[in-house]
Amino acid sequence: MQIGIVGLGKMGGNISIRLTRHGHDVVAFDRDPTVTAKVCDQAEGKRCTPATGLADMVGKLSGRKVVWLMLPAGKVTEAAVQELGGLLGKGDIVIDGGNSFYKDDIRRAAELMKKGIHYIDVGTSGGVWGLERGYCMMYGGTKDATDYIDPILSALAPGIGDIPRTPNRDKPGFDPRAEQGYLHCGPAGSGHFVKMVHNGIEYGIMQAFAEGFDVMKSKNSTELPEDQRFELNMADIAEVWRRGSVVSSWLLDLSARALAGNPDLSNYKGDVADSGEGRWTIEAAIEEAVPVPVITASLFTRFRSRTGNNFAEKMLSAMRFGFGGHIEGTNN
């Protein structure tokens, strides 16, 4: 299958390469032509064709045209969607694989459908590891359009792998694609809504790990009675928790890796950004009158981290860099 990929950063480039490894043809474009050239050089079997812009890309696509945007949420993505709306035709498909606000997806889908163009929002999780591990994807759109791009999504998904199957999933009513790592959630907007809540939950889990490790690291405080002070090894604790613990997880794996490399995490300032999804999750909770105290507190902690920080914030920075390559002081 042929697809255009716009935005070849940490995830867009790897998505392009992974698709070529699974036999798909990619027309790639990034505003930096050297990035485009690098991705095409790494593609499998010369299956990647560089483009100089959106118009050039659309011109190089044949048949029912599919363009996947992997751009920062906001004005950049909005401008690309609007431009594609003037370049594509009836039956063509625009995919937004970034972290756009789900209400923007609903609006864009309605606007493009007036021209017969389909819009699919794909919440994409996997970070910088997706090239090898695959991407967990939650997506929304019409059945016709989502069925058409299923070969693309199947190639990007991690597959069932070695994760034990959940009992009773052979009953009617369950989508078999879910255990492959991708799921059609509903109409346009639903994919990014589910990914938004996923990221809100991620905030809370990360915050719990960060606070717990900070409590343990501070157990040697001179403010405590001498016989109650412990010198605890954070790297060893993270490692032992990875082995059979109830809290074992990928985030704990990343924490263990960071602590083994630098136990004091002195390579991090602890200036923790938020990329939007946590705020949007809280806004949705307010609209629905659903209490989310953990997610709210974790977001406010990120705000506070920018005016002074501690070991907990360094833990958060280390986890964010581990799964997504996020650089402190930026939303990237």
* Tens of pLDDT, residue by residue, the chain (332 residues): 999 999 999 899 999 999 999 999 999 999 999 999 999 999 999 999 999 999 999 999 999 999 999 999 999 999 999 999 999 999 999 999 999 999 999 999 999 999 999 999 999 998 888 999 999 999 999 999 999 999 999 999 999 988 899 999 988 999 999 999 999 999 999 999 999 999 999 999 999 999 999 999 999 999 999 999 999 999 999 999 999 999 999 999 999 999 999 999 999 988 888 878 999 999 999 999 999 999 999 999 999 888 777 888 899 999 999 888 888 866 65
Catalytic hit among 44, 90, 195, 219: 195
Predicted local confidence at residue 127, as pLDDT:
82
Distance, in Å, from the CA atom of 209 to the CA atom of 234, rounded to the nearest integer, reads 12
Q: Look at residue 207 in the predicted model and tell me its pLDDT.
A: 95
Bridge-based pairing of strands 118-125 and 136-140 is antiparallel
* Cα distance from N-terminal residue to C-terminal residue, the chain: 30
- Convert 31-72 into a string of H (helix), E (strand) and C (coil): CCHHHHHHHHHHCHHHCEEECCCHHHHHHHCCCCCEEEECCC
281: its two tokens: 């999750």
Residue 138: the pLDDT is 98
Concerning whether 239 is annotated as a catalytic residue, the answer is no
Which 8-state DSSP code applies to residue 160? S
Measured distance CA(213)–CA(172) in Å, rounded: 43
H/E element, 311:
helix 311-324
Helix boundaries (H) for 61-162: 75-87, 102-113, 130-133, 143-148, 150-156
Give the HSE-up count for residue 189: Cα atoms under 13 Å, Cβ half-sphere.
10
| Burial of 163 per CB tally in 10 Å (0-12, 13-18, 19+) | exposed
CB 277 within 8 A of CB 295: no
Catalytic status, residue 202: yes
Q: pLDDT at position 324, please?
A: 84
Sign of CA pseudo-dihedral 258, 263, 269, 271: positive
- The pLDDT score that the predictor gives to residue 330 is 66
Tokens of 113: 């459908």
Given 202, 211, 313, 328, the catalytic residue: 202
d(C-alpha 93, C-alpha 146), whole Å: 9
DSSP 201-212: HHHHHHHHHHHH
